[in-house]
Structure 1
């Protein structure tokens, strides 16, 4: 930091200050310099937004232990995981490719094929997913209903019922459909629109072979082997949905979007750490993949993901989807959090309680 001939290695910071007396509170005020910016945001070199000095201490420990997802600080990309950020469809620029159900029937002469898919002479039409349709580990959290007369927000989320959630054949309704051009696969998707005042700022889920609008960008794993790609998708989905990573994301999200520059600078455990960390007789990778499979495979449209992970019976046939169970899902999420706290080196219970408290209070 400098101004003319005056140079300062560090400056004092405080955020979300509501009273001038807080500037004398050591729990509220902390110091940062360029070295810290370089550590936690190596690509953008921007200042993180810590609400307390304890946030800085915890974040520093995390970044000293783990690399960022993609580091471009030296002019070349160093990827901890082989990911590519993808926006499949722009909701404005690509709207000429979208069809409503009415347009499918009247203009395309399409008929329903089941599983949310339609078929016409042009080929197969699949749902176009939007960010408001998903939640963590849940690709069918809401359907979309069109509100006539609302010019700015015509598509509104319509939560699915408990009965629908327990139906492995139920597919959340989308407002648009796109033509399957033969390149669709299971993808790891990120809910773009967010806020640091939400209980969760970072939300990721695996989605079936469908279209995805720009409010649901993808982190595409560039791995050719189906099993290894599915494992990587499961591990990264769990990483992004972990409480500890969400804690860090809150210090980076400066608007209402979980943008790529935020995602690429998150601290992530490398693949070898998951393979080399053992709990009892199982590796961290095995525990995480098993939990994510159960959290994700609750509907038949996610069958390709289950098949890639080898979720088969003795005859080699795909096993049925897992039954949606709220209590069971809460336990699995807690198990995943425990694994990630360990991998990220957060073993002090007071630190864990503190991180959870920031999620509860925004």
Structure 2
């Protein structure tokens, strides 16, 4: 859109990024006017200019409001509902319950505590914001958007972040300006694909080469290579949508999104979603149909309770989606290895990043990978912070292994 080229760290980054953009169009082409997703953006609440609308828990309780879930309802004779005001640091990939102000003494804390695994595994658990906003103000800003959910992304990033592009489905709530919202007229199953694309390593790699500074504005988002809706086959939808639903629909407050996907889905996609839920239940124990009093239960919605949160299973599902999007982006295994960790490639492999030839026969051999990393003098890096974090946490670069394993299964047709 700007006709300017970012400054790349290495020749390989320049060549690979150029190849990706030749195959995958930008989200919005402002020169040609192409906008295949019909996207538009919204900064719902400015945290400074709109602060006169915000109320804290203490203020609402003094006014006689009572909290139900993470909403405040008026007492008898009172007026208006107050909805939670989400901030960017409360969300992560496929997770609208990443950070909570519960137990936090000051809003100035830049890092919120992440709920414990047992909280994430509770489908009735909701995170608590610092502020609440009048429901009528939320509705006024949403205008003609009638769906019971939102799609938001984190605006702020920095070099110490393990990932750059972070997006999640949210409930129909208030959202601060550091988490801009993206609206599209696409059908819900396609929106699930858009979310998966935004959260993919392939898109994140392009974002890292594009973003300068700490702000990912909608001008940047428009310039990222994002697959248009027509690129997805029925087979692609059958792979992507059920996995996205399992990652997103882990709590009752996101049921409106799952309901929309279910209503629009054909019989084959519904069967795949059902199978996904059954696999989750078999592996994790699943959940019973026990919605909390505040849940919005539509009679024609998805007939299953939320998927049970399981960290190991979620890591595997995300890796499968990353491998799927690497294939949809037209990447070779060598290029995927490069995106995951350039130190994995030998000098001969790095000589031509566009050539699919690989000197390494088995990239998944841990001893061979460790030796290549030890010998590497390549100056580039991609997801170094993620790699270092996972080595500390798991004793290995888990994402790399899981994604390459998923790639092999794709190649084998599994």
Same fold by TM (over 0.5)?
yes
Matched residue, 2:404: none
- Partner of 1:73 in structure 2? 31
Where 1:127 maps in the other structure, the secondary structure is: strand
Quick one: structure 1 residues 197 and 45, their matched pair in 2 at CA, closer, same or farther if it must change by over 3 Å?
farther
* Aligned counterparts, 1:18-29, within 5 A: none
Tell me the residue number matched to 2:16: 58
Shift of 1:331: 1.1
User: What are the equivalent positions in structure 2 for 1:188-227 lying under 5 Å apart?
Assistant: 188-223=151-186
Deviation at 1:160, TM superposition (A): 0.8
Cα offset, 1:290, TM superposition? 1.0
**Worse-superposed segment, 119-128 or 81-90:** 119-128
Output the CA distance in 1 between the equivalents of 2:20 and 2:246.
28
Shift of 1:69: 0.4
2-structure distance, mates of 1:174, 1:233: 26
Q: Summarize the alignment of residues 303-342 of structure 1 with structure 2, pairs less than 5 Å apart.
A: 303-310=255-262, 318-342=303-327
Counterpart position of 2:72: 118
User: Deviation of residue 285 (structure 1)?
Assistant: 2.1
Secondary structure of the residue aligned to 1:169 is coil
- Report which of the two has the higher share of helix: 2
Match of 1:168 among 115, 120, 123: 123
Three-state SS of the structure 2 residue aligned to 1:126 is strand
Distance 2:103 2:211 in 1: 30
Unpaired stretches in structure 2, ≥5 consecutive residues? 264-269, 275-298, 342-380, 386-414
CA separation of 1:216 and 1:328: change in aligned 2, threshold 3 A: same
Pair 1:45–1:145, CA change in 2 (3 A): farther
Indicate conservation of the 8 Å contact 1:88/1:217, yes or no: yes
Q: CA–CA distance in 1 between the matches of 2:162 and 2:36?
A: 28
1:79-112 deviation digits (Å, cap 9, x = unpaired): 02111111110000111111111111113x2112
Contact 1:188 1:220 in 2 (8 A): yes
SS in 1 for 2:255: helix
Post-superposition CA distance 1:118-139 (Å, at most 9, x none): 1122222111100000110000
Distance in 2 of aligned mates of 1:61 and 1:137: 28
Change (3 A) 1:269 1:156: closer
- How far the C-alpha of 1:61 sits from its partner, in A, is 0.9
Aligned to 2:335: 351
Q: Is the 8 A contact 2:28 2:222 kept in 1?
A: yes
Give TM-score scaled by structure 2 length. 0.69
Q: 2-side partners of 1:146 and 1:195: how far apart?
A: 26
CA–CA distance in 2 between the matches of 1:192 and 1:270? 22
Q: Which residue of 1 aligns with 2:246?
A: 294
Q: Which residue of 2 aligns with 1:4?
A: none
Indicate the structure with greater strand content: 1
**Aligned pairs, how many?**
301
TM superposition shift of 1:156? 4.8
* Alignment match of 1:100 (pick from 53, 56, 63): 56
Residue number in structure 1 paired with 2:346: none
- The answer to whether the Cα contact below 8 Å between 1:146 and 1:154 also exists between their aligned partners in 2 is no
Kindly provide the CA deviation profile for residues 155-189 of structure 1, in whole angstroms up to 9, marking residues without a partner as x: 65122112211111110111011111245731111
How far apart, CA to CA, are the structure 1 residues paired with 2:128 and 2:227? Answer: 36
Shift, 1:144, TM fit: 2.1
C-alpha displacement of 1:146: 8.0
Name structure 1 gaps, 5 residues minimum: 1-42, 276-281
Tell me if structure 2 keeps the 8 A contact 1:144–1:156: no
2:43 touches 2:179 (CA, 8 Å); kept in 1?
yes
Deviation at 1:117, TM superposition (A): 1.2
What SS does the corresponding residue of 1:85 show, helix, strand or coil? strand
What is the deviation of 1:203?
0.5
Q: Does residue 197 of structure 2 align to residue 239 of structure 1?
A: yes
Distance across 1 between alignment mates of 2:183 and 2:238: 21
